[in-house]
Amino acid sequence: MSQSPVVIGVDSSTQSTKAAITDAATGRLLAVGRAPHRVTGEGGARESDPEVWWDALREAVAAGLKEAGVAPGDVVGIAVAGQQHGLVVLDGGGRPLRPALLWNDTRSAPQATALTEALGGPEAWTARTGSVPVASMTASKWQWLRENDEAVARAAAAVRLPHDFLTERLSGAAVTDPGDASGTCWYATATGGYDEELLTLLGLDPELLPSVASTGATRVGTLTAGAAAELGLPPGVAVAAGTGDNMSAAVGLGLGGAGLLDHPALSLGTSGTVFAATRTRPATPALAGFAAADGTYLPLACTLNCTQAVDKVAALLRLDREDAVPGGEAVLLPYLDGERTPDLPAASGLLTGLRHDTTPQQLLGAAYEGAVVTVLRALDEVSRACGLDPADPEVAGRPIRLVGGGARGRMWVETVRRLSGRPLIVPAGGELVALGAAALAASAATGEDPVAVATAWQAGEGTELAPVERDLETWERVGTVLDRAAPTLLA
C-alpha cells in the first residue's frame, strides 16, 4: 500500500502506452505498466486504430497498479501525454471512422506544400501559428483526408488529436491544451486560439474541434463512471487536460516558467527531437514554434530518422548497435523514411565516401554521425529561436539534457558528445514523458504549477558528462554532404 496519494502519468506514443504510477509527493516511480500498439501502412502510410490506444491505456494502467501494489482509492489524478499531430476522426458516438493518420505518415507532403503556398508562403504561416505545414502537421493530414477519403471527411462529427481522444474517453470532456493544439497548424500561437481564416482554408468546421483549456488550467474534470469502471478506479479521480509528448517531456525535465528557460533538451527515440522552453514566441520556418504546456513556448525541431534508422543500418550490416566506430571518410545520411527536419519528405538514405578500407563498423558509425549532425544542426535553430547565438560560448557551454532510449546507448551518447562539444546531463529517471504527465496529473489534483511539481521531484537531474573536444572535421564533412545533396533529395 502507498503511504501518500498516487498519480498516473500516461505516455501514449507511436509504438506503445506506458503508465507511470507515481508518488504524488516525491515523484518516486512506483511502477510502469506497458502495452503495445499496432502501426500499419506501407510506403509513406503510417496508421493506428485509436481504439487500440484506449485498450492499451487500460492494460498499462492495470499492469502498473498491480505491480506497484497501489489501492485504487490512493489514486488522485491522471493525465495523458500523446504522440503529436495524429489525425483522429470520430462519428457522433465518439467512435473512430477510420484509422488515425500518425505524425510520421508522409503521404500528405503535397498537401503541405499546397497549403503553404495558399496562405502566401512559410512566413505567413509562422506569423500566425509559429509553424509551417509539413507532412507531419495535422492540417496537412486533414487536407489529405478531404482529397483522398472525402466520405469520411464529410461524415466527421469530431476531429481530435491522439491525446484529446484519450482525455475525452477518461473525462467526457472534449478539450485539448494549447501545447498539443499548437501542433495542428490551425491553432495560432499569435492569438492563443483557433485561427478562423485557417479553418476556412482547410474547410474545417470549428464545431468539430475540442475547446482549448486555459493556460495553467490543467484540470478538465474527473473520471466518468464508465471510464472509472474500465480502469478499476474511483469516479472522483481528477483528469488533467494533458498535452503532447514533447510538451510533457519538457515538464518532466523542469523546463518552463517555473523552471529552466532556454536550456535545450535532445530526445533520441524513433525520432530525434530538440526543444527548449522560452518566453520568446518562435516564428521561424526552420522549426516548429509550439506553445508549451505552462504558458511559455517550445521551439522544437524533429527528425524522422534517429534510433530506428540507425538500428536498421546495424541490422543490414549484421552488427550490434554498439559495434560501431567513427565513420572516417564515409558519410551516411540515414533518411530511410524521408525527413522532416530538414524538410525532405521524398528522401531516401545516402552513402558517400566509401573506400576499400572502410569497415562495417565505420559504416554504422557514419549512420550515427549522419543522424546526430542532423539533429544538432536543428538544435542550433532552436537556440536562435530563443533569441540566442549558438556560437556564443555561454550558450555553447550550456548542457544538453539527453533523454530517450538512445540516451542509454554508449555510442549515441559518445557521438553527441563528440559532435556537439557540449556538456551533457543524462537524467537518472526514465520515462520523462510519462513523468511529465504525472506532474500534470498532480497539478490537476492539487492546483500546483506542474513545472514546479516536476522540479521538486528532480526528475531532470542525473549524470553530468564533461564536454570533450568537438570533432569539427566530421561535423563539416557531414554538413557539406547534406547541403550539397539536399536539392537531389528533394526530387
Distance (Å, rounded) from C-alpha 466 to C-alpha 422? 7
Residue 146, beta-bridge partner list = none
Total length of the chain: 491
CB 270 within 8 A of CB 84: no
For residue 349, give the C-alpha cell.
Answer: 538514405
Are 36 and 15 spatial neighbours (Cβ–Cβ below 8 Å)? yes
**Beta pairing class for 238-240 and 75-82:** parallel
- In angstroms, rounded to a whole number, what is the distance separating the alpha carbons of residues 24 and 76? 9
* Cell output for 457: 521531484
DSSP 190-248: TTTEE-HHHHHHHT--GGGSPEEPPTT--EEEE--HHHHHHHT--TT-EEE--EEHHHH
Residue numbers annotated as active site: 245
Element (H, E) at 31: strand 29-36
CA angle, 277 as apex, 273 and 278 as ends, to 5°? 130
Contact by Cβ (8 Å): 109, 135: yes
Structural contact between residues 142 and 156, judged by C-beta atoms closer than 8 angstroms: no
Torsion of CA 334, 335, 340, 342, to 10 degrees: 70
For residue 282, what is the DSSP state? P
Cβ atoms 425, 462 nearer than 8 A: yes
Of 485, 132, 489, whose CA–CA distance to 338 is shortest? 489
- Could you tell me which residues are beta bridge partners of residue 159? 89
Cell 493544439: give the residue: 181
Sign of CA dihedral 456, 459, 463, 467: negative
Neighbours of 449 (CB within 10 A): 20
Distant-in-sequence contacts of 411-414, Cβ < 8 A, 24+ apart: 411/321, 411/322, 411/324, 411/365, 411/368, 412/268, 412/307, 412/368, 412/372, 413/465
